[in-house]
Amino acid sequence: IVVAETGVPPAARAIVDTDLSDYQPIIRSMSAVNQSAKKFITQNEANVEQRARVTLRAWTTLFESLRSCCVSKASLLSFELYEVCALDRQGVSGGYFDGPLAWRILLERIEGDGERSEQDKKFYSTALKWQEGNKLANGVSQQEYQKRAFAFVQYIMPNLAQKFEANDASEYILALMPEELYEAGQRVKFSAKMVGRFLDHKYLIRLCGEEVFKKQKASGPQPTFIAFETLGGHPLELMAMAVGVEGLQTASGYHGGSRGGPPHPAFAGVGKTWCPKCPHNNNSCICDPYNTKSPPPSVYLNTNRWKELMSLRDRNGAGESPPFTPKPVPKPSAESIKKYQDIMAKRNNSRRGDKKDKDKKAAPEGAATGGVAANTDSLESFFEGLR
């Protein structure tokens, strides 16, 4: 509390500087005193650095404690705290965070008159719409159902701008069950009402989970996709947690709900145009700042063109909200580069008419040359199409 309210940890207050005012009148006349003064000056300078380290560590510890309290119930707020309180944005290296600032933000959110941000409100309404529009398939596992139901109770329902009544929430929990279990859901509803626990959401989820378990199939869960328009620019990792789907991913291949993903919101390229030639046939663009696939050798080996594409990719990343620096694109494999170079070498040879006699005998006059040219042209077009 002391650190949160004052910003100064007790350990930093315990580091006391030496008052040098007593040394000033005689500092020029006495060499011994002069040497002592230099030692004190050096010690005071070291104290400044030590106080800074102690303070930053205390701030970061406070931040981690406050943010951990928000993760389960206010996931988007925890993400906002991470973004706002990171001191590296102010040029302070070392991974420190402004704990007192996080404290003030939480106090304003809990006790103050400040309203929730529109982004915060839309995040949970988006999560609710996604759940409503992506019903669980028949044969889904009990674990998948319970994850989604508990996500609604723990994350979505408490943070919606328009609150759910307890009875409506119970009906929603029943509606989350697969379509084939509608009658089972009605039996659960009747049973829960008979014992007076229909409004006990955790109890209701447990009963529904038992019904889902009876119909679940042995096959593992399938990947769950979300379109960019549905994501609405919100953090994909947090959205995966909020809707209760561990394998949530975009069509571009990024998975949500894992700690190894990108640390920025709006992790999706679907629905956006990143270059003048978008959309591409394979729904992948080199200029997409979220795309980290290896480029075609024909593009990578064209140095000037490659620099232009990477420059556009960096600008696309800077234009996101919040802006970020895209991860480096891995170069094509040595095998694919060699294969492309061999193809281009054959193509150039065919154009110069440097074909060997055995190639001429393998086909009628002009057919061999034309065939190689056609094949290499189509293959180069294939590489170009991967752009």
The answer to whether the Cα torsion of 357, 359, 361, 366 is positive or negative is: negative
Residues 226-238, mean pLDDT to the nearest whole number: 55
Q: Give the pLDDT confidence of 69-89 residue by residue, as tens digits.
A: 887 667 667 777 877 888 887
What tokens appear for 165 in the block?
């009544």
Confidence category of residue 282, pLDDT binned at 50, 70, 90: low
φ/ψ (deg, to 5) at 366:
90, -20
The tokens 């000033």 sit on which residue? 24
Question: Over the stretch 321-374, which tens digit does the pLDDT of each residue have?
Answer: 556 678 888 888 888 888 888 888 887 777 666 555 555 555 444 444 444 444
Tell me which amino acid residue 95 is.
Answer: G
Residue 208 has pLDDT above 60, yes or no: yes
Is the pLDDT at 55 greater than 80, yes or no? yes
Here the tokens at position 56 are 């930053």
Count of positions (residues) in the chain? 387
Q: What is the pLDDT of residues 113-140, one digit of tens each?
A: 556 667 777 888 888 888 888 888 888 8
What angle is formed at CA 29 by the lines to CA 27 and CA 33, rounded to 5 degrees? 50
Neighbours of 255 (CB within 10 A): 18
pLDDT (average), residues 270-280: 63
Of the listed ranges 18-22, 257-261, 284-288, 351-355, the one predicted with least confidence: 257-261
Lowest mean pLDDT among 15-19, 111-115, 123-127, 160-164: 111-115
SS3 at position 373: helix
Does the pLDDT value for residue 320 go beyond 80? no
Chain mean pLDDT for the chain = 74
Q: Is the pLDDT of residue 32 over 70?
A: no
Q: 232 and 257 in contact (C-beta within 8 Å)?
A: no
Q: Where are the domains positioned within the chain?
A: 2-110, 119-222, 272-387
| 54: CB partners within 8 A, 6+ apart | 9, 11, 12, 15
Residue given tokens 């992506």 in the structure block: 134
Q: What's the rounded Cα separation, in Å, for the pair 384 and 371?
A: 20
Residue labelled with tokens 């007790």: 10
Three-state secondary-structure class, residue 97: strand
The predicted-structure confidence for 173-191, as pLDDT tens digits, reads as follows 999 999 999 999 999 999 9
Q: What is the spatial distance between Cα 135 and Cα 176, in angstroms, rounded to a whole number? A: 7
